[in-house]
């Protein structure tokens, strides 16, 4: 059995070599010719899986190690009798940690206290639910918008999007849908941005085209909103440098790229492939996960406020501004080479472990600030002593 897999999937050879020969390749190099003889195809979000790719091939199962499926023609796979699995929730915690890091960086940059400010969350699925928990741990007041969940549950906690316009921050966690009852393509357009309160911040770590990037640029340049955080971009990987130059935090579609999240994705599609093939799965996870960059962090609570201590811990676990700096160098590259530069940042992304892999030791733990920061850090997922 031949298994073609995206080279950016950790542990994929370890897992799938139990089923057959594993051939790794870049996701953008997957063509009808290169995948024709494959029995299993394992992708990430950059590979468009459709009739043009698979017609006439031997592929009988497709797995995407991502939570989104907008790059997959699900109707075609169904009609062709090709098995399929995504990895919903695999990197949800990673994205929620990214949002946490971004909020704390913006708070430090602008001199804000996050406690008591409001965060509107559009899309309250696997990712959005985790963002709620971490936002509440930071002391933010959350407002939720999710029309499908509102219809399914009737729960009044899901509010009309208009009620989120007055929030200090709005973060997007929706799939990209061009049709259906809840289209999200250019959900955030000039009208949406014009309705946000002055001084607000927009965060997008879902899909690039959920936000009209040119409308966002206009809103930022006119002062309609204060700042923005973009991990995803229209026309990715060839992003617009004028947009990048104006947003406060810019990263190369890596919000969900924690090592833990990527391993989760590999594991989920491995078990799904075994089930599809009628094979008993005998692999559970990577045996030797890399150590976090900072396994133990000691924080001194003397004379410090809780938010600064939390920010220190989060930045030690994940330096979002290192990702920001890496992407900003793209504008020094010739335009025709920027797509390859963007892809290389993702391919060569450093190991990033999630918060639960770090232990924070707080000196002066009997102080009120230390007790508060301990509670916040536990709420964010850290181990605290």
Distance CA 2, CA 200 (A): 50
**Token pair recorded at residue 230:** 């973009």
Distance CA 286, CA 26 (A): 21
3-state secondary structure 149-184: HHHHHCCCCECCHHHHCCCCEEEECCCCCCCCCCCC
**Token pair recorded at residue 203:** 């965060």
Cβ–Cβ under 8 Å, residues 329 and 115:
no
Out of 44, 207, 246, 352, which one is annotated catalytic? 207
Q: Is 269 helix (H, G, I), strand (E, B) or coil?
A: helix
Distance CA 40, CA 60 (A): 6
* CA-CA-CA-CA torsion sign (27, 29, 33, 38): negative
Answer yes or no: 236 catalytic.
yes
> What phi and psi, each to the nearest 5 degrees, are found at residue 145?
-135, 120
- CB under 8 A, 24+ apart: contacts of 20-29: 26/343, 26/347, 28/343
**Token pair recorded at residue 278:** 């009628």
* Nearest residue to 281 via CA among 24, 89, 19, 41: 19
Cβ–Cβ under 8 Å, residues 167 and 119:
yes
Out of 36, 159, 177, 236, which one is annotated catalytic? 236
Can you tell me which residue has the tokens 């997007």?
A: 172
Spatial strand order in the sheet of 249-250: 141-145, 118-122, 169-172, 201-204, 227-230, 249-250
Cβ–Cβ under 8 Å, residues 211 and 196:
no
Out of 60, 173, 253, 352, which one is annotated catalytic? 253
Answer yes or no: 71 catalytic.
no
* Nearest residue to 100 via CA among 136, 146, 124, 125: 136
Which distant-in-sequence residues (6+ apart) come within 8 Å of 219 by Cβ?
Answer: 190, 193, 194, 196, 225
Answer yes or no: 163 catalytic.
no
What residues does 118 pair with on adjacent strands? 141
Cis before residue 6, ω within 30 degrees of 0? Answer: no
Catalytic positions, please?
207, 236, 253
């Amino acid at each position: 059995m031949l298994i073609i897999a995206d080279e950016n999937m950790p542990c994929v050879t370890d897992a799938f070599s139990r089923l057959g020969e594993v051939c790794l390749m870049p996701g953008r190099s997957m063509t009808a010719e290169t995948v024709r003889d494959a029995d299993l195809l394992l992708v990430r979000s950059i590979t468009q899986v459709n009739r043009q790719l698979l017609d006439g091939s031997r592929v009988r199962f497709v797995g995407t190690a991502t939570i989104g499926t907008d790059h997959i023609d699900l109707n075609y796979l169904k009609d062709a009798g090709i098995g399929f699995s995504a990895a919903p929730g695999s990197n949800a915690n990673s994205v929620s940690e990214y949002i946490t890091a971004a909020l704390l960086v913006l708070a430090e940059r602008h001199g804000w206290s996050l406690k008591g400010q409001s965060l509107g969350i559009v899309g309250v699925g696997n990712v959005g639910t985790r963002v709620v928990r971490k936002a509440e741990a930071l002391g933010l007041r959350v407002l939720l918008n999710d029309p499908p969940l509102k219809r399914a549950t009737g729960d009044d906690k899901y509010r009309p999007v208009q009620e989120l316009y007055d929030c200090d921050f709005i973060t997007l966690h929706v799939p990209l849908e061009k049709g259906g009852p809840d289209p999200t393509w250019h959900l955030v357009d000039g009208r949406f941005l014009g309705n946000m309160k002055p001084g607000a911040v927009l965060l997008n770590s879902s899909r690039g085209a959920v936000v009209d990037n040119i409308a966002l640029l206009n809103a930022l340049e006119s002062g309609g909103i204060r700042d923005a955080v973009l991990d995803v971009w229209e026309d990715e990987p060839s992003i617009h440098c004028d947009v990048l130059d104006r947003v406060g935090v810019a990263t190369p579609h890596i919000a969900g790229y924690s090592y833990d999240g990527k391993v989760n994705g590999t594991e989920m599609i491995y078990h799904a492939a075994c089930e599809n093939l009628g094979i008993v799965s005998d692999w559970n996870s990577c045996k030797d996960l890399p150590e976090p960059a900072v396994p133990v962090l000691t924080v001194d609570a003397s004379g410090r406020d809780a938010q600064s201590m939390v920010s220190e811990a989060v930045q030690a676990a994940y330096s979002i501004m290192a990702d920001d700096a890496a992407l900003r160098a793209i504008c020094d590259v010739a335009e025709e080479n920027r797509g390859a530069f963007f892809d290389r940042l993702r391919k060569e992304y450093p190991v990033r472990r999630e918060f639960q892999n770090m232990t924070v030791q707080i000196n002066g733990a009997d102080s009120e600030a230390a007790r508060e920061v301990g509670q916040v850090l536990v709420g964010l997922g850290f181990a605290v002593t």
